């Protein structure tokens, strides 16, 4: 026996000992049981969305009184594209201020997409520009 094997044997790191008794498989698992599913199906269930897919709502408010509609959609977790081209400058400014406060209060984001067009995204939506 070599020196390394003697040290390994002394430390209890030696070879596998032979057992006198064999292991009994009394409780065999039935692979075709009721709860059995292939791994691909289990993975598909894990990644399947539990809620309906998110939606993007395009709104064109005509007056500041339409602000609750924007707020309702945004609080429901929907991404909102708000086009204020049809509003006067003062009302459009108020509407954008409202939307910015709404996004900040709900921990979302607001981004300008085009002139007088804004994107309001909930916190779980990531906005990237490229």
Instruction: Give per-residue pLDDT as tens, 104-123.
Output: 999 999 999 999 999 999 98
pLDDT of residue 124: 86
Whether residue 93 is contained in a domain is answered as yes
Measured CA to CA, the distance from residue 51 to residue 33 in angstroms comes to 29
Question: Which residues, given as ranges, of the chain have pLDDT below 50?
Answer: none
Q: What is the pTM of this model?
A: 0.59
pLDDT of residue 129: 79
Measured CA to CA, the distance from residue 25 to residue 23 in angstroms comes to 7
Helix (H/G/I), strand (E/B), else coil: 112: strand
Whether residue 83 is contained in a domain is answered as yes
Whether residue 117 is contained in a domain is answered as yes
Q: Which domain holds residue 71?
A: 56-121
Contact status, residue 76 vs residue 120, Cβ threshold 8 Å = no
Whether residue 40 is contained in a domain is answered as no
Contact status, residue 80 vs residue 34, Cβ threshold 8 Å = no
Whether residue 76 is contained in a domain is answered as yes
Please tell me the total count of domains within the chain: 1
74: domain CATH number is 3.30.110.150
39-56 confidence digits (pLDDT tens): 777 766 666 555 566 789
pLDDT of residue 25: 59
The DSSP letter of residue 50 is S
pLDDT of residue 5: 73
pLDDT of residue 55: 83
């Amino acid at each position: 026996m070599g020196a390394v094997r003697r040290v390994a044997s002394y430390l209890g790191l030696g070879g596998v000992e032979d057992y006198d008794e064999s292991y009994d498989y009394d409780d065999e698992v039935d692979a075709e049981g009721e709860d059995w599913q292939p791994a691909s199906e289990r993975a598909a269930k894990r990644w399947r969305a539990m809620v309906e897919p998110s939606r993007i709502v395009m709104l064109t408010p005509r007056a500041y009184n339409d602000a609750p509609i924007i707020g309702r959609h945004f609080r429901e977790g929907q991404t909102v594209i708000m086009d204020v081209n049809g509003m006067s400058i003062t009302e459009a400014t108020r509407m954008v201020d409202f939307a910015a406060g709404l996004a900040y209060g709900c921990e979302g984001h607001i981004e300008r997409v085009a002139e007088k067009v804004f994107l309001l995204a909930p916190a779980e939506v990531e906005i990237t520009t490229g």
